[in-house]
Amino acid sequence: MSTIVVLSGSPSAVSRTAALCAHLADRLGSLGHEVRTVHVRDLPAEALLSADTGHPRIAEVVGLIGEADGVLVASPVYKAAYSGLLKTLLDLLPQFAFTGKVVLPIVTGGSPAHVLAIDYALRPVLTSLGADHVVPGWFVLDRHIVLRDDGATLEPDAATPLYRVADAFAHAVDARRPLARAS
Amino acid sequence: MSTIVVLSGSPSAVSRTAALCAHLADRLGSLGHEVRTVHVRDLPAEALLSADTGHPRIAEVVGLIGEADGVLVASPVYKAAYSGLLKTLLDLLPQFAFTGKVVLPIVTGGSPAHVLAIDYALRPVLTSLGADHVVPGWFVLDRHIVLRDDGATLEPDAATPLYRVADAFAHAVDARRPLARAS
Amino acid sequence: MSTIVVLSGSPSAVSRTAALCAHLADRLGSLGHEVRTVHVRDLPAEALLSADTGHPRIAEVVGLIGEADGVLVASPVYKAAYSGLLKTLLDLLPQFAFTGKVVLPIVTGGSPAHVLAIDYALRPVLTSLGADHVVPGWFVLDRHIVLRDDGATLEPDAATPLYRVADAFAHAVDARRPLARAS
Amino acid sequence: MSTIVVLSGSPSAVSRTAALCAHLADRLGSLGHEVRTVHVRDLPAEALLSADTGHPRIAEVVGLIGEADGVLVASPVYKAAYSGLLKTLLDLLPQFAFTGKVVLPIVTGGSPAHVLAIDYALRPVLTSLGADHVVPGWFVLDRHIVLRDDGATLEPDAATPLYRVADAFAHAVDARRPLARAS
């Protein structure tokens, strides 16, 4: 069984990005993966901003990512790019923290005008972390994520392509395992 | 007299980026500008990461930027882009916080391989903040910034083009003032 | 009187980008600028692709750009970026062909999902050409450009912000002139 | 046996990019792939610039790409991005021409300052073409490519990491085949 870490990079307490992450974590789990979710906003602020990798909570997350086969990286769009919060975590990872892993970028935003932030802003950062397979990402409009007391549901039209992307990611994570063992 | 805010986005306690900012603040001051320097790492971590614009220290910085004629935005390159720390501050600014201002992007890094992070990563974010004039930026190699007890000096070959960029920025800030008054 | 070159980078014979360029050329002319429009598709294909700057037609265009105070660079979005046709012309210009000029990027496309192509794809190229002032650009949806026998009209909602951008560009070109003379 | 198309996007008659492509085509061939090389500069200029996909030479190249398992896309850096010549070919391909294929971006340039053009300029275009696996690319300095009468050799220090990248690409193409058949 392969393991996937879901990184939620929204600073909001009531976050569509976080709700979407929970939704996707469920789906990836149902496809047979062990999923661990990390809400960057729950990590200690001081340690994050000073890149204190000796802090136990930070060290734990770095360790989780190190052992994962796949990483889903989710962020709201702020100022035409990923959130600074998410980037503070990515900044303190080892330079090639994503080597050998499959990575899925997911971005949420209020307007389709920000779609290209996935491929022009987030993807280059993920690639620089040594990921050899960043699968096609997806942009989810805020209004397609319906917050509820017990999580979120997706508008049906938005769910279909998103699930296709998530399933392709899960498939790529699975395909990676035997290759990784063989090498 | 026009005012310039210098934003230093390095998370390091002993930072070449910060030393470079002090150096450039001196120069901009000697050209007749009132310069205020903000080290993002000195702002309260919790407030930054939760975008708490009600926090007095954060509110003060937002106010400084709001009143400035020019903003120098400096960051080290981390993972092929600006620091997450810098972005946490940019994220909590109003959407058009840079409207009517002249902005100068400065990036520092260990290798020339990261030069394009200025124009492909940082500049789009500054533009999205409504800046109508982001002047040409500059990339400074870490090894050209010589840290000393009382600040930093620059290798002469690195200083000449950097000063040219800083002076062009100062000139553009000055040129802006009468236009701003006229409009 | 300052001069502006309008570069239309669409390969289509019936082009919304070209019609939009004619529309903007009219407006810039009515604001008192001398405007020259270059349709890259009308230049000799062989000379463009082989960067033959000795070809009279190519040399003429390079000369026009060299003498201009402002350059409006317009392109449709193809494959998440500017057209290859436009880039073939930009490629054969001198490395710092835009130094001292004000540049306005305009992009057209069928979906708002491509808006960020202006700032992440086109602007870095314009900046690399030495432009010290690339003013804020604008994205125009194809369906807001209504083709007619004698040119194009714009949907009123689309016209207002576009004219604001064009007028700010014209203003920046004018503001540049005395500075250029002074320096 | 899987097939790979090598696209060389340099407009120069004596091209380091083209020589590098020949070198890499040999290596990919020796690893058991059928390799077909396309020099975009040899295609009919008029047809390329007008996106005439009915032209037999263009149609042939579109067909070759359509049937390939992998595509190596090589370009010199011009004006902080890929060549316009290369982009004219990419522009006329179907929107999802790279779906199901593995793609390797290779960029050549005179200065390491352009390294990020791979991930910020070329990769987003390749991703927009539907590629589900754009493997890590590589930047080769012009001076590491030694032109000779019968092709090119690489400086040993440059060859090692490039071969590693090319071999990882070949491996990913191979790994794709059974998946493609199974789906």
- pLDDT of C182 reads 43
Subunits with at least 3 CB pairs below 8 A relative to chain C? A, B, D
How far is D119 from A119, CA to CA, in rounded Å?
9
**Chain C residue set in contact with D, beta carbons under 8 Å:** 11, 41, 45-46, 48-51, 78-91, 93, 95, 120-121, 124-125, 127-129
Q: List, in order, residues 6 or more apart from A162 with CB less than 8 Å away.
A: A24, A138, A140, A154
Using a CB-CB distance cutoff of 8 angstroms, which residues of chain B are in contact with residue D112?
111-113
Over residues C104-130, the pLDDT tens digits come to 999 999 999 999 999 999 999 999 999
**Chain B residue set in contact with A, beta carbons under 8 Å:** 11, 41, 45-46, 48-51, 78-91, 93, 95, 120-121, 124-125, 127-129
Mean local confidence (pLDDT), C163-169:
97
Cβ separation B116–D120 shorter than 8 A: yes
Residues in chain B where the model's pLDDT stays below 70: 177-183
3-class SS of residue C153: strand
**Chain B residue set in contact with C, beta carbons under 8 Å:** 116, 119-120, 123-124, 127-128, 130-136, 168, 171-172, 175, 179
Judged by phi (left if over 0) then psi (alpha if -120 to 50, else beta), residue B15 lies in beta
Q: Give the largest Cα separation in chain D, rounded.
A: 46
Q: List, in order, residues 6 or more apart from A50 with CB less than 8 Å away.
A: B11, B41, B45
How far is A103 from A132, CA to CA, in rounded Å?
9
Cβ separation C84–D84 shorter than 8 A: yes
How far is A59 from A48, CA to CA, in rounded Å?
11
Is the Cβ–Cβ distance between B119 and D121 less than 8 Å?
A: no
**Chain B residue set in contact with D, beta carbons under 8 Å:** 80, 111-117, 119-121, 139
Domains and CATH numbers, chain B: 3-182 (3.40.50.360)
Token readout for C105 is 């990027």
pLDDT > 90 fraction of chain C, expressed in percent and rounded: 86
Over residues B50-83, the pLDDT tens digits come to 999 999 999 999 999 999 999 999 999 999 999 9
- pLDDT of D177 reads 60
CA distance A7 to chain D (A): 21
pLDDT > 70 fraction of chain D, expressed in percent and rounded: 96
- Check the CA dihedral B120-B123-B127-B133 and report its sign: negative
List the pLDDT tens digit at each of the 183 positions of chain A. 799 999 999 998 888 999 999 999 999 999 999 999 999 999 999 999 999 999 999 999 999 999 999 999 999 999 999 999 999 999 999 999 999 999 999 999 999 999 999 999 999 999 999 998 999 999 999 999 998 877 788 998 899 999 999 999 999 999 886 544 444
Q: Give the residue on B whose Cα is nearest the Cα of A11.
A: B50
Using a CB-CB distance cutoff of 8 angstroms, which residues of chain D are in contact with residue C46?
45-46
Half-sphere exposure of B28 (CA within 13 A, CB side): 32
* The pTM of the whole model exceeds 0.90: yes
pLDDT band at C181 (very low <50, low <70, confident <90, very high): very low
Over residues D128-139, the pLDDT tens digits come to 999 989 999 999
- pLDDT of C153 reads 87
3-class SS of residue C170: helix
Token readout for A19 is 């709700």
How far is C121 from A61, CA to CA, in rounded Å?
34
- Check the CA dihedral A15-A17-A23-A29 and report its sign: negative
- pLDDT of D14 reads 83
Beta carbon pairs, B and C, within 8 Å: 43
Mean local confidence (pLDDT), D164-174:
96
Report the 10 Å Cβ neighbour count for B100: 15
pLDDT band at C178 (very low <50, low <70, confident <90, very high): low
